[in-house]
């Protein structure tokens, strides 16, 4: 489930980084005045996209590693039974 969450969150962040920006502004607004007036730089959006791509890749890698481990365990069980 964690890998699927990472893939979903990563894709969302990579495709629509504006949502992460809005979330950050809301969190800052709880503790700071005029947080809504903050403007993000284009470099920040690029960084968010990069983080999203990395998170997606990590989720996919986790799914692949779990599949390989499950296949290996299954083949070892079959060899022991033979």
Band (73; pLDDT cuts 50, 70, 90): confident
Closest CA to 35 of 21, 46, 47, 49: 21
Q: What pLDDT, on the 0 to 100 scale, is given for residue 42?
A: 93
Locate 43 and state its tokens: 């470099």
Enumerate the domain spans of the chain. 2-81
Question: Running DSSP on this structure, what letter comes out for residue 64?
Answer: H
Question: Dihedral sign, CA of 69, 70, 72, 73?
Answer: positive
**Whole-structure pTM value:** 0.77
CA-to-CA distance for 19 and 46, rounded, in angstroms? 14
Question: Is 82's pLDDT higher than 70?
Answer: no
Cβ proximity of 77 and 24 under 8 Å = no
- For residue range 20-48, what is the model confidence (pLDDT) as tens digits? 889 888 999 999 998 888 898 999 999 99
């Amino acid at each position: 489930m964690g890998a699927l969450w990472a893939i979903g969150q990563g894709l969302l962040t990579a495709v629509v980084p504006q949502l992460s920006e809005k979330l950050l502004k809301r969190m800052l607004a709880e503790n700071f005045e005029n947080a809504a007036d903050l403007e993000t730089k284009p470099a920040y959006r690029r960084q968010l996209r990069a983080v999203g791509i990395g998170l997606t890749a990590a989720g996919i890698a986790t799914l692949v590693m779990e599949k390989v481990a499950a296949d290996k365990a299954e083949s070892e069980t079959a060899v022991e039974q033979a």
